[in-house]
Structure 1
């Protein structure tokens, strides 16, 4: 009608960045947002949620926002007991209102207009950094179809700089070392294993169409309408739930349940921090894996994913890896102790396939190093990394039988902050002692163990065990051939 003014606000992307004591990383995170070229006519607003911080996260965020000329606001949370979930929901409530507000506050006309202008919500961690143009790629993916609820960036672990580059005479030596930017050979090797593991996962998802069963919290662009539907359908006060240690996976499954597609971007990249030590890695993977298993087995959550069969197959793959190695160790030990070991060149086939597969994965891992490719070909790195994952797998499933549920977030944070330590050294010592004791007993009772009576008694069981192991190895070899075949494509990690 003539004479009526219409208000207008540019479409925008809103970034929600929960940050708990992230004074060392928040500037780098915001620098990554400053690198982005926004879609034409679209604005970016950044909300840093300083969650229960006891350091200078708020001050560093404000300073960086001014330095990079970002439209930034810091939200302060106190006594938030829901950690990352509570922080993200605090940001959401600021934008869309608090449904638990007993005073039923209505949004002002400007707030309502602002809410309508939000076309995408970027959820990201304070220790992540978007590669240039990542936000554009995520936006293009989200806007490519009406039914896409979220698009995740491809994650690449940042390699620590060489510790040897630091001069011990530098007055900032200890401060630079504590920043996490530098690491020794072990930390750098460990980071590559995680990077290669992530690359393998991303390549597999892309080969099978790009759909993902988890929109990682490190950097995902959501459609607000999809988040609102999850909130309304599940009668929540915010899209993120604290019912699982893997809140990002739970949200992804809820989006899929409502009919939304969840994809990974083929081009958008985000650099994330790896776990620099065995202990922190174990605690992180314990949290991830226990959360995944809980989602698979907890019927009370009432969530499903089209990828459920794939996740179960991954669990069965780890179980088969564990069984094969345990059987091989037992059978080999008994065969050697009773002098009934016979070498067969056929066993070279699965070893050669594993070597080829891991070399291809190492070469397809972004920013790979020659030493990593060599160690992958020799199967040293993949085998050590696999054993760590197998220990985590066993611990998680044994934990399902326990009545005491562990707080995965608390355990991971305690490990990262140095409040707990690993028992790796004790485990290695016990293993060496056990092997030495076994060798001594075999040598001491050699005549008895190699007697014809013992050999005849053991032989049928050995034969049955080797046959069963052979069939399992054939199945694993076929799976490796299939994986090598899938890696021939144009997809990049």
Structure 2
């Protein structure tokens, strides 16, 4: 039996995206004498996912079979493990079913397993490039593709008289200016992360579930060492990161320098926040929960990232507080040296925008002006603060359920209420400062406030110098040949 790659595609109500995902697999060029099999797991589906997958398999000449799950409570983890057990058997099978001779040959012929999301699409030749990366050394356990968010088509291209207008909008292929702008911010964020990984040697602390090629022996070693019935676990909201850390105990985990995978972005502020809440909370849980019993050699890098985010948050909150207090008490003094970190941030974000695949001129301009990066950063800072405050809470949320509900429209954003509250707070503060100006600018108040202002500005200066050196280092590293 020829060596083969087997693709695992968990799909929960993915009738709108599964055909495109399978079309991408139909486009792939395979290594010589290597075959591709595709297993789609229709997970608790209530739509036409199974039917469309079978039709697409015939259309694109794929060796495809569909497994179905009912009442699977482990969501994507359970679906992936279902695909795994269909090949390697279930160690929890009470009847100790033996594999047939054909099943044994088939199992032995599997040399790589491709884990994919149903709303992802591999670029042509990506699978071949992932294979080359995985087979370049015996100790490589997994190779991840480079992800790029798909930009929505302009909604204005659809005529309002088009009888299929609402149907086309519902597909998610089209979006307005805000959705397109928001997608680019996620693309640039992903590009920054990918460039950082490549500049650090290509080793990654998470093999993303969107498109990763695994060595079966690496997955089996995770099962054996942790006494599992399948490689994937639902103990974490970031099951792909947990699996990567377990693989890293004995194997290398790398990012491909060439293989590309296109994935869907979160089109709204609300769905993005819920996704990032899940990612951030899962990461924090892995870093801080000793009961999970797994560590990564990249822990230092991840902690540095958390500290950087905390520093960014502290700088902005401290600056706003000091600025408001200084202006209110008439003790604000401008210094041109403040433009240095602003200029560095502008240069850095311009480079990142230019290195982001398929960027638009408007994206580069908004990056240079720091408008887009600052808005995007504030959203992530709010998520960061929310997650760490949640660590102190006794009520733990299910990140998967929260994200699914947001994507289905079962929950709504409180962005409007939050925005109104901030505007009212600013208006109230401004009115109070104007109304009480004579008191706030009196010598007594100025004298009492001055020590706090001086100390605050000193602390802010040191934090800004620290981040400025970090930006200089990042700009220096971006001069390399790596692409996102």
TM-score normalised to the size of structure 2? Answer: 1.00
SS of residue paired to 1:155: strand
Instruction: Report how many aligned residue pairs link the two structures.
Output: 484
Give the gaps of 5 or more residues in structure 1.
1-8
The CA distance in 1 between the partners of 2:450 and 2:383, in whole Å, is: 34
- Partner in structure 1 of residue 6 of structure 2: 14
The CA distance in 2 between the partners of 1:420 and 1:464, in whole Å, is: 43
The answer to whether residue 43 in structure 2 is matched with residue 51 in structure 1 is: yes
SS of residue paired to 1:151: strand
How far did residue 436 of structure 1 move? 0.1
1:268-287 equivalences under 5 Å are 268-287=259-278
The CA distance in 2 between the partners of 1:443 and 1:218, in whole Å, is: 54
Match of 1:431 among 422, 426, 446: 422
The CA distance in 1 between the partners of 2:336 and 2:222, in whole Å, is: 56
- Partner in structure 2 of residue 389 of structure 1: 380
The CA distance in 1 between the partners of 2:223 and 2:167, in whole Å, is: 43
How far did residue 405 of structure 1 move? 1.0
SS of residue paired to 1:350: helix
1:103-252 equivalences under 5 Å are 103-252=95-244
1:3-34 deviation line (CA, Å, top 9, x unaligned) = xxxxxx00000000000000000000000001
Match of 1:42 among 8, 17, 34: 34
Match of 1:88 among 75, 80, 88: 80
1:326-475 equivalences under 5 Å are 326-475=317-466
- Partner in structure 1 of residue 482 of structure 2: 491
The CA distance in 2 between the partners of 1:237 and 1:460, in whole Å, is: 62
The answer to whether residue 261 in structure 2 is matched with residue 288 in structure 1 is: no
The CA distance in 1 between the partners of 2:475 and 2:286, in whole Å, is: 30
How far did residue 370 of structure 1 move? 0.3
Moved over 4 A (4+): none
SS of residue paired to 2:231: coil
Give the gaps of 5 or more residues in structure 2.
none
1:275-309 deviation line (CA, Å, top 9, x unaligned) = 00000000000000000000001101111111000
- Partner in structure 2 of residue 33 of structure 1: 25
The CA distance in 1 between the partners of 2:168 and 2:448, in whole Å, is: 63
1:187-225 deviation line (CA, Å, top 9, x unaligned) = 000000000000000000000000000000000000000
TM-score normalised to the size of structure 1? Answer: 0.98
SS of residue paired to 1:45: strand
The answer to whether residue 301 in structure 2 is matched with residue 310 in structure 1 is: yes
How far did residue 469 of structure 1 move? 0.5
- Partner in structure 1 of residue 469 of structure 2: 478
Match of 1:99 among 88, 91, 95: 91
1:254-283 deviation line (CA, Å, top 9, x unaligned) = 0012x1000000000000000000000000
SS of residue paired to 1:122: strand
1:71-110 deviation line (CA, Å, top 9, x unaligned) = 0000000000000000000000000001111000000000
1:363-416 deviation line (CA, Å, top 9, x unaligned) = 000000000000000000000000000000001001100111100000000000
